[in-house]
Structure formats: structure tokens, C-alpha cells
Chains A and B, each alone.
Chain A
Amino acid sequence: MAVNEQAEKVSPLREIMETREIELNLGPQHPATHGVYRALVRLDGERVLGMESVIGYLHRGIEKWAEYRTWQQATPIFDRLDYVGAVLNCHGYVGAVEKLLNVEVPKRAQYIRVILDELQRIASHLVWLGTHGLDIGAQSVLFYAIREREAIMDLFEAMLGQRLLPNAYPIGGVRFDFPKGWVEVCRQFLEIFPKRIDEYEGLLTGNRIWRQRTIGVGVISAKDAIALSLSGPTLRGSGVNFDVRKAIPYSSYEDFDFEIPLGQNGDVFDRYLCRVREMRQSVRIIKQALDGMPEGELRGKVGKIIRPPAGEAYYTIEAAKGQLGFYIVSDGSDKPFRVHVKSPSFVNLQGIETMCKGNLIADVVAVIGSLDIVLGEVDR
């Protein structure tokens, strides 16, 4: 494990005054832990000497649960993994089953999936932005972000019937086409949204307090980030160009022209910038998908009962938090034999110790916010 040099920096007063370390229990009920995450922090005054993560408070046994359902029945439960990015989870599972079945998803369905995925990514990043801002004390960003997220949730409700956990895709395609007028409302939103991002950035990016709180805090080097298997904006904030949408294209992502924002220093500020810029790229992708929407079928040829061939498949997508992977094992029956979720939040949370060592207790809060963890996904 890479050790931060700062961790060795102990206050010189300690030797003279014989001070003691404090062990502070951050969580599981703590406003900044974004759920029921618990961190045992060892402190020298306010400086973090080390920390240990305790997770599992929200473990619901989703993987076991899925083994007792048929392949289709298992879809809605994976929405509950990352409950602020439900559509993406659904895409991950459904994509894995399709990969195992060798089903070709129609092009139009793929495009619709891209649009909904990117909308969900924006929604997820908005929740992150609001809560991260609130952690560092900027209140208004939360409400502005939630306001825009509501617009996306309304779009979901009109399209999929539910706002938060819509059970978006069936195996083989998408359920419905856009309702009448949906595309116009979506385009309207896409017009307004970049201006809203400018507002958030006006409140945060240039703000000297925000910069002082985030620049140089929670640094993780590219080498450490790769070694710790971090993914998503947390990895890209350190300057590693790895985005599943580009690296292992799925669902027609190769058709779209977009950039992957990269950071340089791997600190909280870079991760913040990565995500904010990613939202702009998502808008770009949705616009291209709406413009180039092909005609055609919505669902591939999938029977009412699915019996994939015995074997395994590992399918990864770029979820809002990072690389979301589904490792599914089939024994040829109509039920999954084993479903394993590689959840980005779980893996990203490993990096927190490296990031927090040597920083102050207030920085722990900033780092947790910048990792964008959702405990439903961490604990599964």
C-alpha cells in the first residue's frame, strides 16, 4: 500500500506534551458520510493519522437474491444498487445477460439507452455536486442541482413511468419509444442545462474558499489510483485516461463524438472538475443521439423464458461512479447461477485511506464527497 508522506508528519508538540491520539467514530450516522458509511479515524488533534472503513450496514444480499429469481425477474433489484443512478445499473445487468445470450440489441434501442444513460449520469452527478457542495458548506448548489435533477426525473417519469428506480430496460432492448413531445422537452432541457452548469461553476470553481478547500486535498497519484483499481472520475481526476465508453465501447458509444475530461493532480478539485465537465460531455452525447436517432425495432429477439447457455460473461459499463461490472454465471437454467456486481463505489472507497492520511478532519468530509460513494452500491 502506498503511504502518503504527509502521514509521517506529526505535530512537534506531541513529543513535548505527551498528547494522545483520539479515535473518532465518523458515522454510520453522520451527515457527511452519504449514508451509513462508518470511518474510524485516528486523529492527532485534527490531523488524520489513519483511518479504517467499516461498511456493510446496508448489505441486502442482492447477489444472493438474484439467484432465486429468473433472469428477467432479477432486473428490478439491481436498480437498488446505486439508487441515484438506477438506469445505469439496469443497463449493466441487462447488457451482461444480452452478452451471454448473444442477442443483438436493435440500433434504435441502443440509442435510446444511450440517451437515458447519459441523462441518468447527469442526474447522478447533480446529486453528487449538491451534496459535495453542501459538505463543504455551499448550500445553494444543492438546491440548484436538485432543481435540474427534478427536470430529469420528470423526463424519466414520462418515459419510464418512475422517477427514481424505473426498471428501465427489459432484456433485449427497451420497453417503449419516446412519448409524444418527450424529445422536445428533452431538447429544451439540454438547451438550458449548460447555462445551469455555468451557474454552479460560477458559485464554486472560481471561488477562493472552494479552491482553498479542495486544491491539494485528498491527493492520489495516477500510479496509486491504478493499483487500487479506482475507476470513473476518481481515476480520471488523477489523469488516467480510462473510460469504459471509449475503451470498451458498448451500446453504440463508438458512434458519438465526445471527450473524456482528465485531471492532473488527482485532488478533490480535479475530481470535481472532471465530473462537472463530464456533465457537459453528456449533454453533447445526448444531443448527438437525438439528432442521429435511427428508426427500427425496440426489442431484439428474446423469448419469454430466457435460458442462456452455460457459461460466464463479464460486462462492464461506465456508470456515474465508475466502471460498473456484472459477472454472471449461467448453468443453462432460467435462473442466474451467480451474479457478481463489481460496484465502482465499493472499489473507489478503498482509496480513501491513501487520500485522507495527513489531512485534516474537515478534509475527510471533502474526500468522501469527492469519491461520490453511494452506500447502496458499496454494500449491495
Chain B
Amino acid sequence: MSDEKEQPGSPAAPPAEQSPAEAQAKPAPPKPPAPKPAVPAGPKKWESTGEVAENGATAALKAKFGEAVAGVKSPCKEAVVMVPKAKLAEILSFLRDDAACSMDYLSDLTGAHFPVNDKKFEVAYHLYSLAHKHSLRVKVQLDDGESCPTATAVWPGADWMEREAHDLLGIVFEGHPDLKVILLPEEFEGHPLRKEFPLGGKQEEMIRSNKYGKPVYLPEDIEEARKIIEEHRHGS
């Protein structure tokens, strides 16, 4: 009765849901291209699929910095480049000032946490050129605990965005004028958008609160569930 997975009534049910802990340990995407056999078994690295796209800005970047700038594959044909951390500040100011790029508008700045990768953090700069109307994503990879040079000197608008990334992901931006908490309370510990940070509450089960506002979880077993429901019905 409790084993519903084999029932014919659930035709398109997704395969067993991964608990957050599992997802973190094994995000293993079922990618059609088979991974290289040389890679040893274990958690697969996160890698973008698709093809590398080019535009005016990437061409200018490649011409100036050559090998240092690597095109990144994108499934939706966005121009993405990966740059080394050491050259980030130089490349960003080049992107803003160069006439061919003229990326004067910083659309977004954010990061992501990839616990399975060698370099666990990525910071993405979404740039847009008001003059040439082309956009570019510049990415930089960081290790855990490594700091990233600030972009506030190039775009003052990066101020709050970097504070937010620092707050939620724990990325330190070197040279930022006032890197303090922005969204979270000051006494908050941890960085919520890191993958190891748990989300409160179980998501797979029905949540409802009892009269004290605490969540009540319904188990898979129907008798137990009924008992809990009855208890809370008559308890109040």
C-alpha cells in the first residue's frame, strides 16, 4: 500500500526525487553525449553544453588577450567567455573602454556554486553595449575561499550586486568599498545560496501547520497519516 512507485496510475511520474543531500552529492545530469572514458568514476563536473557563439566583443577580446580568453559553450547561442582571475580587472575595463566592445552597461553580476567542480564558484558578469547592442557574459572561476577582484571601479553599479553575491554565496570581492551584508540579517550565519545550505522543511511531503504554527508532515503510510490528521483535528 505504501509502495506507490509501481502503480500504473502514475504514468508520467518522474523518477525517484533526489533529496537535497543526494542532489548535491550526485547532480549527474543525464546528458546525451557520453562523458569521456578517461574521467574516473565519481561525481561528474558541471559543464555547459551547446556550441560556442561569437560576436564583435568576443572577437575584440580574443584579438587583444588571445589565449587567456576562452569561449564557453552555450545551449542557447549566447556569447560567453571564461577569463582567468588574474586578468579579470584588466579585461573588464578593456571591455568597457574599447570602441569595438564599449560594454558600458553592466546588466547583472552574480555567482553560482558548483560543489562538484574543481573550482567551486563562478562569477558571471552580464554586459551589454548600449551603442553596439550586443551582449556578453564574462565568467570567472574561483576556488573556495578565493577572492575576486571588484568591478565597482569599472561600473559603480556593481556595488550592491557584489554585496548580494557576497551575502548569499560568500564570494569575497577584493577592493569593494563597503562589502557588508545587504539582504540577510547581520547576525546571519552561512551563505544560503551555497548548495550545502539546507532549505527548511521537507518538500516531498505535505506540509501543514498545527495551531502552534509548526509544520506537520504526513508520512507515506496512510494509517499513520490519518492518525496525525485526527490528532490535530481534535487537538484544537
Contact = CB atoms under 8 A, between A and B. Distances in A.
Q: Do chains A and B touch in the complex (CB under 8 A)?
A: yes
A309 B29 CA distance: 9
7 contacts: A240-B130, A310-B31, A310-B75, A312-B74, A313-B74, A327-B126, A332-B29
B149 interface: no
A102 interface: yes
A75 interface: no
A277 to B, nearest CB: 21
By Cβ-Cβ distance, the 8 closest A-B pairs, closest first, are: A332-B29, A229-B157, A311-B75, A342-B108, A311-B48, A56-B183, A228-B157, A340-B110
A346 B113 CA distance: 22
Given A226-B104, A226-B105, A228-B157, A335 B47 contact: no
B193 interface: yes
B156 A228 contact: yes
A228 B109 CA distance: 12
Contacts of B124: 312, 314, 327
B214 interface: no
A342 B12 contact: no
Interface residues of B, number: 54
Given A61-B192, A64-B192, A311-B74, A332 B50 contact: no
B65 interface: no
Given A67-B199, A242-B105, 13 more contacts: A68-B199, A68-B203, A102-B76, A229-B157, A310-B31, A311-B49, A325-B126, A327-B108, A332-B49, A335-B23, A340-B110, A342-B108, A346-B160
Determine chain B's interface SS by DSSP, over half rule: loop
Contact of A248 (B135, B168, B184, B197): B135
B114 to A, nearest CB: 8
B54 interface: no
Contact of B14 (A1, A55, A305): A305
Interface residues of A, number: 57
A154 interface: no
Interface of A: 1-2, 55-56, 59, 61, 63-65, 67-70, 99-100, 102, 226-230, 240-242, 247-248, 304-305, 307-314, 316, 323, 325, 327, 329-335, 337-338, 340, 342, 346-347, 349-350, 379-380
A59 B135 contact: no
B112 A342 contact: no
A345 to B, nearest CB: 11
Interface string B108-140: 101011000000000010101010010101000
